[in-house]
A and B are shown apart, each in its own frame.
Chain A
Amino acid sequence: MKKAVETIQLNHGSGGKLMHELIDKLFLGYLGKVAENKGDSAVLNLPAAQLAFTTDSYVVDPIFFPGGNIGKLAVCGTVNDLAVAGAKPLWLSAGFIIEEGFPMSDLEDIVKSMAEEAKAAGVIIVTGDTKVVEKGKADKLFINTAGIGNLRDGNTDISTGKRIKPGDVVIINGTVGDHSIAVLGARQSYGFSTALHSDCASLNGLIIQVLNQEDIHFMRDATRGGLATVLCEMSREQNIGIEIKENDIPVKEEVKGICELLGFDPLYLANEGKVVLVVDKDAAPVIVKELQKHPLGKESRIIGEITKDHQGDVVLNTSIGGRRLIKMLSGEQLPRIC
């Protein structure tokens, strides 16, 4: 008889022997050195008076896509939320909700890439949880990660946007829309395949490299809702005007093409490795150069500026010389992209 494929059973979440086996073999096997404490809480030594704390749940469909999987995403997504707040990411938690019957080998691949990504980003997964639900009650696998980072002095205002001022310029570290299109291509139902890879990556290395040397007024990662949403949030929250040049926004040819076919706007597509920075105009050229030295920032460029005019509105200067507003996305452009 052919050996049956090992899958997750309800029992794996029951708290009994099977669950301990799963934790010991798989989770601790990979995340081991970093998650040795099996007690109910991780015990941490605080490095600073001010910490950044964030959480995010990952439900991407499909769970494996070119350039990553749900596990890698769950690590770098949360690492990035800390990094853009100006914090040094230190510890993560990881909660798994697994559908009964999920292949063990897939879970292993996912946990393995979480371990790899955590190592690369220099964070430790210190606590976790596993639940198994009946077949059909969840779609394969959902992961929640929360993260704590050390917020250094002087960086506490970065995530608030209070320091953005007219005349500042807006920078992005590379092409937009890669993640969304790579995930869509991996979904059978869209009927296209692409060589594109998700930009899914931990940005803390890139950010720290710049932050160590230069003054950043504001940062946010352009995930769900894309670049357009970050710009709209900025203009609305700080009541400032933003002017963006369509021609300066880096978009890969493949992404442009698929957007034309499917009627998407690349500015609204999700990214998982893109940060929007607002900096002083005079410092901008040096900052762009510094970003470009890092592998994740090679295509960094200035895409627009903060204005005194049209407060609360983002204006796009179109490639043909027209002007239009960029607004918050209404409704869902694409579901379950992260």
Chain B
Amino acid sequence: MKFIDEYRDASLIGKIAQNIQTSTRSDYTFMEVCGGHTMAIHRFGLRDLLPGNIHLLSGPGCPVCVTARNFIDKAVAIAQMENTILATFGDLIRVPGSHSTLERERSKGRQIKTVFSPLDAVEMAHQNPDKTIVFLGIGFETTAPGTAIAIKMANRKNLGNFMALSAHKLMKPAMQALIHKGIKIDGYLCPGHVSTITGSAMYSDFPEKYGVACVISGFEPVDMLQSIKMMVDQLEKKQPAVEIQYSRAVKPNGNEKALEALDEVFEPTDTEWRGFGVLPKSGLKIRQAYSIHDAENRLSIPEIKSLEDKACICGEILKGLKTPIDCNLFGTACTPENPVGACMVSSEGACAALYKYQK
């Protein structure tokens, strides 16, 4: 397939892998903070191509996985409201809340619809003027502009019955929190899609303040190996920097239109991350001007005390402190068919990826 095959060329991949092998002189730990990268590593068997002194660690890059259990509990409460349709990306359907899942609620006859775009939910609001449509906004800077555009469109069309429940998050505070917690990370394989929106400047603290290499990577094997090689080179030369490997999609300034829409609709707020607790200014809250579309503001969602499963170590896995195989539940009590933690639910979760592709 044109534009894909070039990035999966086995002989080129062999050459880059060989290059990495010869130029790596120390032990390095690289963390990917994008679920797409996590999946690609497993899907293509990339670890087989890397020398033993390069360790790959999965970070908090899967939007579903970092979403606090309380958000699912709120979504379940909304789904139980009269005359309400909950619109959500498919990944969230099976994530366990404290007492239920959206899948279980749907089987009880609650109106829960899977959408591919928040704009589908706006259309739903247009088609069902007598119903409240609540879109579950999750994800980082990649998906948040979509929600912002949907809110703006609903506002323009006077669709007061369209609302969003935002659990949107910003990437950088989590990356920073990991460094502050003292986790050994020599390089960040920076998220390709988040960076198409944000651009590259937001990562500059990492090399400058912490000496961490940063390369914004694409998602194909050639992309990822090349990015790893770039990080190795930066570290071997002791010149950590921010570089863009995924230059066919990422510009230094990002996507200015999307950033504008984000800023118009959302403002940063303190928010809870699974495994991290509350991180300051790490979430996106709908601004006052658009509060008519803010489900938190419009609906009386009951206070819910959320319960975590004590044996589940998703939080530790998201911080890179543990790996799925350290978890007693992995593959036994917790499987994709019967997930305990979010990392096993989302196709981009570290546990699901390992479970699906492990050798």
Contact = CB atoms under 8 A, between A and B. Distances in A.
Interface residues of A, number: 20
A324 B359 contact: yes
A260 interface: yes
B94 A331 contact: yes
Contact of A321 (B10, B42, B43, B356): B10
A289 interface: no
Contacts of B359: 315, 323-325
Contact of B43 (A253, A257, A324): A324
Contact of B13 (A253, A256, A321, A327): A321
A256 B337 contact: no
Given A260-B4, A330-B335, A331-B94, A324 B347 contact: no
Interface string B313-352: 0000000000000000000000111000000000100000
A234 B43 CA distance: 22
A320 B15 CA distance: 11
B46 interface: yes
A330 B337 contact: yes
A37 interface: no
Nearest to B4: A260
A329 to B, nearest CB: 9
Given A325-B359, A331-B337, A320 B347 contact: no
B106 interface: no
A33 to B, nearest CB: 45
B42 A324 contact: yes
Contacts of B210: none
Interface string A302-338: 0000000000000100111111110100110000000
Contact of A330 (B46, B116, B336): B336
Contacts of A257: 1
Interface string B31-52: 0000000000011111111000
Contacts of B357: 324-325, 327
Given A190-B116, A253-B1, A319 B49 contact: no
A331 B336 contact: yes
Interface string B63-106: 00000000000000000000000000000001000000000000
A16 interface: no
A318 B359 CA distance: 13
A253 B5 CA distance: 11
A30 B124 CA distance: 41
Contacts of B45: 318, 320-324
A256 B120 CA distance: 25
Interface in A103-156: none
B186 to A, nearest CB: 23
A319 B8 CA distance: 7
B14 interface: yes
Contacts of B14: 321
A263 interface: yes
A256 B9 CA distance: 16
A323 B48 contact: yes
A320 B337 contact: no
A39 interface: no
A133 B357 CA distance: 44
Nearest to A330: B336
Nearest to B338: A330
B116 A191 contact: yes
B94 A322 contact: no
B61 interface: no
B335 to A, nearest CB: 7
B250 to A, nearest CB: 19
Given A321-B13, A322-B48, A322-B49, A256 B42 contact: no
B8 A256 contact: no
A320 B8 contact: yes
B10 A260 contact: no
A158 to B, nearest CB: 31
Given A257-B1, A331-B336, A318 B44 contact: yes
A39 B336 CA distance: 49
B44 A320 contact: yes
A327 B356 contact: yes
Contacts of B42: 324
Contacts of B1: 253, 256-257, 260
B221 interface: yes
B358 interface: yes
Given A324-B357, A331-B336, A263 B347 contact: yes
Contacts of A327: 355-357
A321 B42 CA distance: 13
A139 B231 CA distance: 55
Given A257-B1, A263-B347, A320 B13 contact: yes
Contacts of B221: 320, 322
Interface in A79-119: none
Interface string B4-40: 1000111001100000000000000000000000000
Contacts of B43: 318, 324
A324 B356 CA distance: 9
Interface in B98-151: 116, 120
A330 B356 CA distance: 9
Contacts of A253: 1
Contacts of B46: 322
A138 B187 CA distance: 55
Contacts of B116: 189-191
Contacts of A320: 8-10, 13, 44-45, 49, 221
B10 A319 contact: yes
Contacts of A322: 44-49, 221
B319 to A, nearest CB: 26
Interface of A: 189-191, 253, 256-257, 260, 263, 315, 318-325, 327, 330-331
Given A263-B347, A324-B42, A327-B355, 7 more contacts: A319-B8, A322-B48, A324-B44, A327-B356, A330-B335, A330-B356, A331-B337
16 contacts: A189-B116, A190-B116, A260-B4, A320-B13, A320-B45, A322-B45, A322-B47, A322-B221, A323-B45, A324-B42, A324-B357, A324-B359, A327-B356, A327-B357, A330-B336, A331-B336
